[in-house]
Structure 1
Amino acid sequence: MASTAASASPPPAGWASDPGVSAPLRHVRAIIADHLTHGPTDPTLAQRRAWRDALYDAIALPPDVVSTPVRDGAVRGLWQSSPGARHDHVLLYIHGGGYEIGSVRSWRVISAVLARRMGVRAFSVDYPLAPEAHFPAPVDNVVAAYRWLLAQGIGAHDIVFAGDSSGGGLTAAALLQLRMLGLPEPAGALLISPWLDLTNSGKSIDDPPGYDPFNPRAGLESFAHDYLAGHPATDPLASPLFGDLHGLPPLLIQVGGDEALLDDSVRFARRAGSEQVAVTMQVWPHMFHEFQAWAPDLPAASAAMDDAATFLDRALADAR
């Protein structure tokens, strides 16, 4: 069983109090540092999942967001809606967590806020996690959720995808699978701090531009091992970086400037652009992994969410 340190590591002294960054960023870093410093010792998998969820559970949702669980055959997830949200447009959200931790409950802080800013409903997919489930079960589950939305009469051009971390990689993998199956593609997709290369060959993993408390190499390798269960990491549905990206819908990639996974985004954006995909990449200085979750407290996170909402709104309009 992986230890707490395998999936996150306590930050060094001075990270939270760095005078070179803004006061709001120091505040959020202090919250993260306190959480990571007081994690459980040699936890069970259930404890690791609960511990990571607790970090995001502390972030308040807008009070007008209504969440409704869904269980319909193999499709499980969470509808999120705010007053006035359009029901004919849907944000299909895929949470992160290394394919092993994370949940629609804890990552709802991104999906709900983003959908609220867009004025649409969000459906967050509750896909099966490793080690109970292995590749390609999550990919198949996301595709099943997309088919489920289509079967309800929601047009492909009225759906956009978004995902963070492993959920960002899973978003890209699902897009590749949709193309293989001949299904209509959604209007566009947002990849937040995506993990796109499960071979972990990005140079920034071992030499990140800044301190990344969430993605030590040991954690990424442990997650990949448990998820792949012996399957080649170079399979494009596991590592979309190695896929044929021609024909993908417009993409926005947002990544923090301090992230270990920065190279995944840079290499994927370069490849997508060379294969005639309309791709925009934003690198946010000094930001950490999945910083968008802290939009209520962090101005850069709010600005990133505004940009993401604008991009996805435009993708929906252009697909008409």
Structure 2
Amino acid sequence: MTSLRGKLVRILIANKHLLKGKLKREVIDSSTSIEKLRNDIKTVAEKISKLPRGVKVTTSEFDKFYSEWIIPENCDENKVILYFHGGGFIAGSSEDHRTIVANFAKRCQVKCLVFNYSLAPEKPFPAAIMDSIDIYSWLLEIGYCPKNIMFAGESAGGGLEISTVLMLKEMKIRLPKAIVAISPCADMTCSGKSNTTKKYIDPCIPIGANEIYTDYYTGNHDPKDPIISPIFADFTGICPIMIQVGTDEILLDDSIRLAKKAEEDGVDISIHVWERMFHCFTLLSSILPEADDSMEEICQFISKHLLYNIN
């Protein structure tokens, strides 16, 4: 059963347009200003930009694009989570995800490296994936072992991290230890039934956004390319994956189909579908009981594969 707080937060998110003085929910189409969307995200992030106690942020030494270390007290300096921020492939940055990732890092007691990968439509596929490979390769170059690195990310970042691992496999580069994907976007064809059935139920993703954002990200490439849309990929030999997703998400079928394909290919895959939860609800840990429980599952997964370092 959904908690009372979960119901209240859902109502607030679903009606946020009213707080802006608008009678109807936001609709995204080809005329929507990407720059305005990015600025809106920055504005919201600035309002919740308070870092949790016991976490420090420092700029990394990587020189190709901006990235930053988010380091909780008493963490193991030899282990790291490479965090892939969300934002629909068209927005988001290390700076506006700083508080989100800091809370994640503190809760899991692992330092994170979050980075500003290339954004569409200015830089469509494969720019973001190549950036991800560059910064992962840098981690290897400065001495981190693959067994001491995990990937984590939400929404577009959740899909991007999986695409990155698939590309690393093709390039025969050693893979990270495991993957945590929160509400991943993994189907650029937008062919999942939930894209239609949850269109007016999902309180977080604006109507039309999934189709527009994925089109910008795909560019002139085939959206069925397995690296672009991991639900079509061969997962054989991929590291363990954990997925968290809610029943009321447009991207629900992305997660379910991805998990099914990975399981068919012999991957150690776990997925938890949370009843009546919305897009990326896990990131609201300390606010929602369901998010606290979801984050606890993630921390246990991280401890099992990274901190305790099983095979």
Fold similarity call, TM over 0.5: yes
* 1:181 equivalent in alignment to 2:162: no
1:24 matched to 2:5: yes
Whether contact under 8 Å (1:187, 1:319) holds in the other structure is: no
Equivalences for residues 296-311 of structure 1 within 5 A:
296-311=286-301
Equivalent position of 1:252 in the other structure: 242
Aligned to 1:282: 272
Q: Match for 1:240: what amino acid?
A: P
- Deviation >4 Å, runs of 4+: 39-43
The equivalent residue for 1:45 is: 34
Are 2:10 and 2:203, in contact at CA under 8 Å, matched by a contact in 1?
A: no
CA contact (8 A) 1:209 1:257 kept: no
Deviation at 1:285, TM superposition (A): 1.2
Deviations 1:78-110 (A, max 9, x none): 210111111100011001111101222233344
1:205 aligns with 2:195: yes
Greater Cα shift, 195-204 or 95-104:
95-104
**AA partner of residue 32 (structure 1):** I
- Worse-superposed segment, 205-214 or 283-292: 205-214
Identify the range of structure 1 (147-156 vs 60-69) with the bigger mean alpha-carbon deviation.
60-69
Aligned partner of residue 267 in structure 2, secondary structure = coil
Aligned amino acid, residue 123 of structure 1: L
| Contact 1:173/1:237 (8 A) holds in 2 | yes
Change (3 A) 1:53 1:290: farther
Quote the residue 2:97 is aligned against: 107
Q: Which residue of 1 aligns with 2:54?
A: 64
Q: Specify the alignment match of 2:144 in structure 1.
A: 154
State the alpha-carbon separation in 1 of the partners of residues 114 and 86 from structure 2.
11
Q: How far apart are the structure 1 equivalents of 2:122 and 2:83?
A: 22
Number of residue-to-residue matches in the alignment:
301
Match of 1:82 among 50, 53, 72: 72
Paired-residue identity, %: 34
Equivalence map 1:155-174=2 (5 Å): 155-174=145-164
Give the deviation of 1:209 after TM superposition: 9.2
Give the counterpart of 2:210 among 220, 237, 248.
Answer: 220
Change (3 A) 1:209 1:254: farther
Which amino acid in the other structure matches residue 277 of structure 1?
V
- Secondary structure in 2 aligned to 1:263? helix
Aligned Cα RMSD in Å?
2.2
Cα distance in 2 for residues equivalent to 1:160 and 1:140: 18
Give the letter aligned to residue 196 of structure 1: A
Are the equivalent residues in 2 in contact too, given 1:110–1:292 (CA < 8 A)? no
How far residue 69 of structure 1 moved from its aligned partner, in angstroms, is 2.6
CA shift for structure 1 position 293: 1.8
- Return the alpha-carbon distance in structure 2 between the equivalents of residues 243 and 314 of structure 1: 26
| CA distance in structure 2 between the aligned counterparts of 1:265 and 1:48, rounded to whole angstroms | 25
Shift of 1:29: 2.6
SS of 1:189 mapped into structure 2: strand
Q: 1:86 aligns to what SS in structure 2?
A: coil
Cα distance change of structure 1 residues 217 and 276 upon mapping to structure 2, 3 Å threshold: farther
Partner AA of 1:273 in structure 2 = E
Give the CA deviation at 1:216. 4.8
Distance of 1:171 and 1:188 partners within structure 2:
11
Distance 1:39 1:235, change over 3 A: farther
Contact 1:163–1:190 (Cα < 8 Å) also in 2 = yes
Classify 1:21/1:47 alpha carbon distance in 2 versus 1 (closer, same or farther; 3 Å): same
Gaps spanning 5+ residues in structure 1: where?
A: 1-19
Is residue 2:256 matched to residue 1:266? Answer: yes
Compute the displacement of 1:177 (Å): 0.8
Q: Give the structure-1-normalised TM-score.
A: 0.87
Are 1:141 and 2:124 matched, yes or no? Answer: no
Please report the TM-score for the alignment, with normalisation by the length of structure 2: 0.90
Look up the SS of the partner of 1:72 in the other structure: coil
Gaps of 5+ in 2: none
